[in-house]
Structure 1
Amino acid sequence: MMDSVANYGKGLKLPTYHETRVTFLKKEVENMHFTLDKYKNEWKKIGCTLMSDGWTDNRERFITNFLVNSQKGTTFLKSIDTSDISKNAENLFQLLDSLVQEIGEENVVQVVTDSALAYVSAGEKLMEKRCKIFWNPCVAHCIDLMLHDIGDLPVHANTIKKAKKITFFIYRHIWVLDLMRKYTKGRALARQGVTRFATAYLTLKSIYQQKIGLRSMFASEEWAKSPYAKKSDGINVQLIVLSDPKFWPAIKFCLKCVIPLVKVLRLVDGDAKPAMGYIYEAMDRAKEQIRKNLNDVQRRYRPILRIIETRWELQLHRPLHAAAYFLNPKFHHDPNFVANEEVRVGLYEVIERMCPTTLERCRIDLQLEKFDKAEGLFGKEMAILTRTKK
């Protein structure tokens, strides 16, 4: 805006108070409604997802943002103060149900919330009333909970605690921070992830990458002559970096356990492509990679996979994920694709819920045969996919 004012030059006439509050505001509202109508038209054609995102404001009120997502993008619907209802399943159900009604039941494919118990109960109630709609927990939130549970394992908890001591000490003292940047060539230690617990592990990764720089810094003459080298917290951090025989191997072990999960988290939290058709395969690939990272030693990978599988079975193992995986041409037409019983059950549960009449399901069965054989329009889709790979 300031560039436009400067480009106009001397003599620019500012809008009046009335023009700003009435004329221009009305035009902006009309433009916004016009844009929103484009999104709404797409919701009617291919469906959409109602999503919730909660946060706490500076007055300690729990505010929930509701957004609608489709292939065209994500639009903000409204913000509601849910302080009094965030833990009441019945009230949450009434709220979600009213929002579905506002969007149009026929337009909503799924409702996504976090996996708190009240939301789980509200989601189940919603699915009972709205027979074609699915409720699913937020995948990013569930993976973050996996990382939280893994982070509670003794070796992970101790390693993260030591890493926090290092970053807290370095970033609290400007002189030490400047010295660290000198030895790490300006690279930071603290790394921001898409979730709280992903951040902890990304910081571990950053510390490990700067291992040589950190060890050189704490072994340097500059450090030894500084007053910080005489303080108790400085001595403790120096001992962790230079003399703790378990610290660096423990970081390497922790990263092998969780980096495959962090990659899945980036997939589901990104905007590059719709993640629904990739979640099922991505989780399988992550578990397999964790096994390989830990050299297929069961006593090492079993506690990690047990945590992942528990969360997956209780929260993430959903029919829509299985159906989306089955119908993703990238996987379905791969020579190694296997639609096991779990995947097919999920597919048919989705078909039965979304298409209640026998005639509709028969038509879908016929189309699935063509999809399997890549015939008709599905053949054209495969040709496009093949060219894209090349």
Structure 2
Amino acid sequence: MSSSAASTEPSVESTKSQRLDAPLWKYVTITSGSDKSGGNVAFTCNFCGGKLTGSHSRVKSHLLRIKGTGVKIYPTITRDQTVELQALLDHCDQQLNAKAQHKVALPPSSMTGSGISYFPLREREDEVKKRRGLSPQLSKAFRQEDRRECDASVARLFYSSGLAFNVARNPNYRESYSLASKIPGYVPPGYNALRTTLLDNEKRHIERTLLPIKKTWKETGVSLCSDGWTDGQKRPLINMMAAAKDGAMMLKAINCEGVTKSKEEIGRLLLESINEIGPENVVQVVTDNAPVSAAAGAIVEITHPHIFWTPCVVHTLNLALKDLLKAKSYLPGETVVEELGWLMEVYNDVWFIKNFVVNHNMRLAMYHEHCALRLLQVAPTRFASHFIVLKRFRDVKSGLQQMVISQRWDLYKEDDASKARVVKEMLLKEKFWEQIDFLIALMGPIYEMIRMSDMDRPCLHLVYEWWNSMIEKVKKAVFNPEFVHVITEHCDVTRFYDVVYPILTARWTKSCTPLHCLAHSLNPKYYSSQWLEEDPNRVPPHRDAELNNERRRCFQKLFPDSQTRNKVMEEFARFSLNMGDFSSSDALENKFCFEPLTWWVSYGPSTPLLQSLALKLLNQPCSSSCCERNWSTYAFIQGLKRNKLQPRRAQDLVYVHTNLRLLARKSSSYYKDMDSMWDLGGDDHDSMEQGNIDVLEMATLSLDVPVLERMVIDDEMET
């Protein structure tokens, strides 16, 4: 403060021996009464000489020039003096709070479970009265008012910014406030720091944290997955993801604005990412089935002969579904419109009814009166969109029929009454529902395989068996006596299957690679007696001619040296014929029981080359669905409110977001603490209990990104 007041102004340090609850008494001279009594006293200001009467609060109002209190203020006090006085008060408040926290323990909110109260005497006195809150003294000690104001401020942040309530489940949310409370006077980072320095720092931190995962790729191998997308500014982007047993890690997203996405350009980008990962660690490159992607994959295979290009299994299955509905023929010189054309007609009828109901407010209100489930609005570009629409439509059959037989349906004439009559006739026709049931049964096995393949989990070694099983299930659905009369209205049942089978096998032939066959051959389960006895037509992989040919092609690519290749083939013979260490009773019995990786680690050391190969192939995914999910993250971060983000900053935000979730899911606390699976569900679910839905499956499902996924899960929960 000013030198004129130096003799009467104690420093902050000198207040340690003074009264912490009333430090400003040192700046006045008491003329009558005592400051220790807590009542009013007469005093003279040491600065202005003014004479006043009152308590310490009037001294504070006078010196700090607090208006509206009825106290004459000190007119000539400077800003620096005011700041120093306020700092002294704040310092004393902090010391009081620290002491109060050590002296008084926070009482529990309730102990109703044991029937014991924290204040037993008071409870007995007021048992018929409304329970009282904390006393004024305790409330002041625990700063209840300050806590309420802080809670209100945090809530106001959520409300004003439109933040999802699910943000409060994020462990970083609570951790940030906990750390901030330990730093007196902490001010959160501002706009520029969040979007520049701190974002760069977090990206570097994540890169360091991911290093231990990357070091495991030498043993487990990794798949490079890639896909294209267009952002809100119509910029073409290509993302690169590294998928292995620990999940999918985002590497980068590349802005291809002004660049032709030719096979040479895509191949160059893939090769750059392979070099960043390490060519020796990459097992396969997974992309969609587009011709330009296949050509780029061929460039990769020429440059690195040990790396395979693998088309995404999910894309392949989705194309198979579309081929069925489009009546696409794979029989040379033949048309299959007569046999399959009616499938799309049934789907179009369902789409017509759905649109009629959804696009008329009164009809939609009638629907809601009878159906709790929503009619799905599914984009045709989504995986298995046709099946999803049909399945939901079938699930609300009863409600739809009740709707059209109600009086309101016939009495309402404001919209197209003729269409309403057509809708009513169709919904009450049993033949229409039998056709829908058949379509669901026909497409169900394909949809089921899409669900299983549409994961980041290792499943490359399961694809071959899944295809065979799926085709068998489709065959059973076609020859099911329940649906024979539905098919025979259009063609013979055998003819119908003879048309469907080539569609499925043609798609499988286009997507099947030698890598699928080799991975299948290294799965111990397929050599076990339990698996072979489930179906008399099954044979172990080493006795399948097709698998044998594809396996040899793989060995030639992976082991160009003939001496090493011969050694690997000898090891495979010992494995497939149960020779040496593989002949033990434990090894034979556990082929069916153990996970393939566990079995190879336990019984494979005697064949080191084959074991090393198995540990890599059995850790790989079969689809590029992680890229689809990454674009969902991109759309979430660079949405309508943030569509002006520069590509580089948007890429950094997506990189940080995606890889933070990957790291969080590797933590054991992610599955069991109070914030268990904090990044799932959001505000769309009241409950995320594992008993209701398979939340982990939902976390990696990309059938709809982001809308259909939620609706599919709702469907499973509600039905």
TM-score bin, normalised by smaller chain: 0.7 to 0.9
User: Partner residue of 1:321?
Assistant: 516
User: Partner residue of 1:170?
Assistant: 357
| SS of residue matched to 1:33 | helix
User: Partner residue of 2:405?
Assistant: 219
| Deviation of 1:182 (Å) | 3.1
Counterpart selection for 2:434 from 241, 249, 253: 249
Distance 1:375 1:178 in 2: 71
Distance 2:275 2:511 in 1: 26
Q: Over residues 221-264 of structure 1, what are the superposed CA-to-partner deviations in whole Å (9 max), with x where a residue is unaligned?
A: 12222346753443333232224x65222212222221111111
Matched AA of 1:63: L
Q: 1:202 to 1:191 in 2, by over 3 A?
A: farther
| Deviation of 1:374 (Å) | 7.4
| Deviation of 1:211 (Å) | 1.8
| Deviation of 1:20 (Å) | 5.3
Matched AA of 1:365: M
| Deviation of 1:56 (Å) | 1.7
Matched AA of 1:312: W
Q: 1:16 to 1:51 in 2, by over 3 A?
A: closer
Distance 1:19 1:382 in 2: 60
| Deviation of 1:82 (Å) | 3.3
Distance 2:195 2:254 in 1: 25
Distance 1:12 1:235 in 2: 71
Q: 1:108 to 1:6 in 2, by over 3 A?
A: closer
User: Partner residue of 2:322?
Assistant: 148
* 8 Å Cα contact 2:360-2:415 kept in structure 1: no
| Deviation of 1:24 (Å) | 4.8
Equivalences for residues 181-260 of structure 1 within 5 A? 181-184=368-371, 186-190=372-376, 196=382, 198-227=384-413, 230-243=416-429, 246-260=431-445
* 8 Å Cα contact 1:160-1:204 kept in structure 2: yes
Greater fraction helix: 1
Matched AA of 2:454: D
User: Partner residue of 1:343?
Assistant: 547
Equivalences for residues 90-169 of structure 1 within 5 A? 90-153=264-327, 154-169=341-356
Distance 2:410 2:279 in 1: 68
Distance 2:446 2:257 in 1: 32
Counterpart selection for 1:303 from 495, 499, 512: 499
Report whether the alignment pairs 1:44 with 2:218.
yes
Gaps of 5+ in 1: none
Matched AA of 1:267: M
| SS of residue matched to 2:384 | helix
Distance 2:558 2:462 in 1: 21
Distance 1:88 1:14 in 2: 50
User: Partner residue of 2:32?
Assistant: none
Q: Over residues 59-105 of structure 1, what are the superposed CA-to-partner deviations in whole Å (9 max), with x where a residue is unaligned?
A: 22221111110111100111113355565222222222222122211
Matched AA of 1:311: R
Gaps of 5+ in 2: 1-171, 328-340, 481-492, 533-537, 596-719
Distance 1:291 1:189 in 2: 30
Distance 1:181 1:330 in 2: 49
User: Partner residue of 2:652?
Assistant: none
Q: 1:12 to 1:371 in 2, by over 3 A?
A: farther
TM (norm. structure 1) is 0.88
Matched AA of 2:396: Q
User: Partner residue of 2:449?
Assistant: 264
| SS of residue matched to 1:376 | helix
Distance 1:312 1:103 in 2: 30
Distance 2:239 2:527 in 1: 36
Matched AA of 1:307: I
Matched AA of 2:224: L
| SS of residue matched to 1:146 | helix
Distance 1:356 1:169 in 2: 62
| SS of residue matched to 2:441 | helix
Higher Rg: 2
Distance 1:182 1:374 in 2: 68
- How many pairs were matched up? 385
| Deviation of 1:140 (Å) | 0.9
* 8 Å Cα contact 2:524-2:592 kept in structure 1: no
Q: CA RMSD in A?
A: 3.0
| Deviation of 1:47 (Å) | 1.2
| SS of residue matched to 2:298 | helix
| Deviation of 1:294 (Å) | 1.0
TM (norm. structure 2) is 0.49
Matched AA of 2:449: V
Distance 2:235 2:419 in 1: 37
Matched AA of 2:540: V
| SS of residue matched to 1:200 | helix
* 8 Å Cα contact 1:205-1:255 kept in structure 2: yes
Distance 1:250 1:295 in 2: 14
| Deviation of 1:125 (Å) | 2.0
Distance 1:116 1:71 in 2: 26
Write out the 4+ residue segments of structure 1 that deviate beyond 4 Å after TM superposition. 1-12, 16-27, 83-87, 191-195, 377-389
User: Partner residue of 1:62?
Assistant: 236
Q: Over residues 260-310 of structure 1, what are the superposed CA-to-partner deviations in whole Å (9 max), with x where a residue is unaligned?
A: 111111111024x41211111111111111111111732122222111111
* 8 Å Cα contact 2:525-2:592 kept in structure 1: no
Counterpart selection for 1:76 from 230, 239, 250: 250
| Deviation of 1:117 (Å) | 1.2
Distance 2:351 2:454 in 1: 25
Q: 1:337 to 1:101 in 2, by over 3 A?
A: same
Q: Over residues 23-64 of structure 1, what are the superposed CA-to-partner deviations in whole Å (9 max), with x where a residue is unaligned?
A: 755652343012321221122222111111222222222211
Matched AA of 1:168: N
| Deviation of 1:377 (Å) | 7.0
Q: 1:284 to 1:130 in 2, by over 3 A?
A: same
Q: 1:20 to 1:255 in 2, by over 3 A?
A: closer
% identity of equivalent residues: 28
Distance 1:378 1:39 in 2: 35
Distance 1:51 1:193 in 2: 24
Distance 2:196 2:393 in 1: 55
Distance 2:249 2:317 in 1: 24
| Deviation of 1:112 (Å) | 0.9
Q: 1:342 to 1:84 in 2, by over 3 A?
A: farther
User: Partner residue of 1:15?
Assistant: 188
Equivalences for residues 348-363 of structure 1 within 5 A? 348-363=552-567
| SS of residue matched to 1:251 | helix
User: Partner residue of 2:581?
Assistant: 376
Q: 1:113 to 1:83 in 2, by over 3 A?
A: farther
